[in-house]
Amino acid sequence: MTFIRAWRDFRRMQDVAVGAAALIYAGAVVNAFQVLPGGAGLIAQRTLIWPAMFLFVSLAVPLVVPALKRLLARYVWLSFQAGFGQTPLSVLTGVGLLAAAALFIYWQVWAVGHGGRYPAGVFSGYAAGIGILAAQAVLVRALETVPEVRAQIEEPAG
């Protein structure tokens, strides 16, 4: 079974988005341990423990709750049909959005050193976003098993 190039590109983009978001998050956590006050325990709680719960919930709930699974799968399918991840412009747009989120996290951490609030929420929010991206990547593979979708994404035999 071979899929059309557009689908392979789309699937790859979904995987790359999850990987890039996770790497950005890991870098932000390393930066947080170097910059944030409060000791390793507090920093781990705010950048790893609480965000891990948000990541788990945002990954699991859309895959377990049937109505949310259908809704997110439809969104993934419509994203494919709209061309996301299949052209240089859409790839650059996706990378730009990830970069903007990364800059926001780094700015929040930097601001603490200059009198800002402790950035607990930004880490949990970004982790939840990674969970949703991962759920989308899982649903890309689930869509491959749907006969109506499969008929549109498989290479013609021959």
Query: By residue range, what is the domain housing residue 83?
Result: 5-153
DSSP 70-96: HHHHHHHHHHHHTTTTSSHHHHHHHHH
- pLDDT at position 14 is 94
Whether the Cβ atoms of residue 21 and residue 129 lie closer than 8 Å to each other: yes
Q: 158 in a domain, yes or no?
A: no
Any residues with CB less than 8 A from the CB of 68 and at least 6 apart, and which? 61, 62
Q: Is the pTM for the entire model greater than 0.85?
A: yes
Provide the domain count of the chain.
1
Quote the pLDDT of residue 63: 98
Q: What is the pLDDT of residues 108-124, one digit of tens each?
A: 989 887 888 887 789 99
Tens of pLDDT, residue by residue over 50-91, are 999 999 999 999 999 999 999 999 999 999 999 988 888 988
The answer to whether residue 18 sits within a structural domain is yes
Does any domain span residue 68?
A: yes
Distance CA 143, CA 127 (A): 24
What's the pLDDT score for residue 158? 66
Asked if residue 108 belongs to a domain, the reply is yes
